[in-house]
Structure 1
Amino acid sequence: MSETIATTPEQAVLDQEFLKTLVSLIRAEDTYGAWEGKSDDILLRPFILTKEERRLIPIIGDPDPDTITRMEQFYKAVGLTIEKRTKLMATPLMKMSHEGFGRIVLLTGRLVVLSKHMRDIHRYGFPSVEALATEGTKFVNEAVALIEEHRVVADL
């Protein structure tokens, strides 16, 4: 008789392809082993900002370098997930001003698969892990649909 292991809703969210890619990327960038042995939810915690935490962050001054790094990791994970699905490299390009405004573009070949203006980078984050997964998966699905529709341009 086989035994089924029940998973919690939180574990089901963490098992999503995009979040697995994001956690793998975070672990790959851990050159000193500081995050070795830490759970996935602990690694994803810096991406989560409650409304109260968001309100406490001033938008005056330069954005925190750790916040910019998290944003870069998010979009790199979007690109890597796209690459896993399509076998085509999706390269993120980011240009941010010191005031916290900018733009993210993901390119596959000559095709722009994602273009997003960013504001208030100081307060970059998601209200929950579910929202993080939903946003990342949404970007990936939209990009994959564009690639499938315009495969010739994406292959260039």
Structure 2
Amino acid sequence: MSDLNSPFMRMLITRIRAEDSFGAWENKQDAALLSEYIVTKEERRAIPIIGDPDPEIIDRIDYFYQAVALAIEEKSGQMAVPILKLNHEGFGRLFVIVGRLVVLAKSMRDVHRFGFEDMAALNQEGCRAVDNAIKIIKQFPDAAAA
């Protein structure tokens, strides 16, 4: 079962809802908003191995890591900034920086296939990224505060 009340999931839902400036998703359930992140094994197999990501997928990735950064901020009390740089083929790098400290660094590839098997996997990956970042901040507090 996924925990829609985890700091990460709350931030992701809030971040997605922030894009709804006209209220079209006001009555949409949180789980329905997050359904875009679910890509089953069968769906993933149907996606070509080589492909260019469309803007919606890039936005989805961006929202995911913005939610990670927001949850890091909530837990640490320090500003976290996600930096995502992708080329047109879906390859690139992702960093989350707190102060002068890189708390998350990830190589991105095949982003056109970005997604999670279920809500629990989505929550687990987001929470793991947040928890690992918090450990790094605690390990290097001076760099995080700089």
Q: TM-score range by the shorter chain?
A: over 0.9
| Corresponding residue of 2:21 | 31
TM-score using structure 2 length:
0.95
- Per the alignment, in what secondary structure is the counterpart of residue 14 of structure 1? coil
Structure showing greater radius of gyration is 1
| Corresponding residue of 2:143 | 153
Q: Which runs of 5+ in 2 are unaligned?
A: none
1:10-40 CA distances to partner (integer Å, 9 max, x unpaired)?
5xx2122211111011111211212111111
TM-score using structure 1 length:
0.90
Please say if 1:142 is aligned against 2:117: no
| Corresponding residue of 1:4 | none
1:102 to 67, 92, 95: 92
- Per the alignment, in what secondary structure is the counterpart of residue 25 of structure 2? coil
RMSD after superposition: 1.1
Structure 1's consecutive aligned runs of 4 or more residues displaced over 6 angstroms after TM superposition are: none
Q: Which runs of 5+ in 1 are unaligned?
A: 1-8
Q: Which amino acid aligns with 1:112?
A: V
- Per the alignment, in what secondary structure is the counterpart of residue 91 of structure 1? strand
1:64 to 36, 47, 54: 54
CA contact (8 A) 2:50 2:110 kept: no
Q: State the structure with bigger RCO (CA 8 A, min sep 6), 1 or 2.
A: 2
1:122 to 83, 92, 112: 112
| Corresponding residue of 2:38 | 48
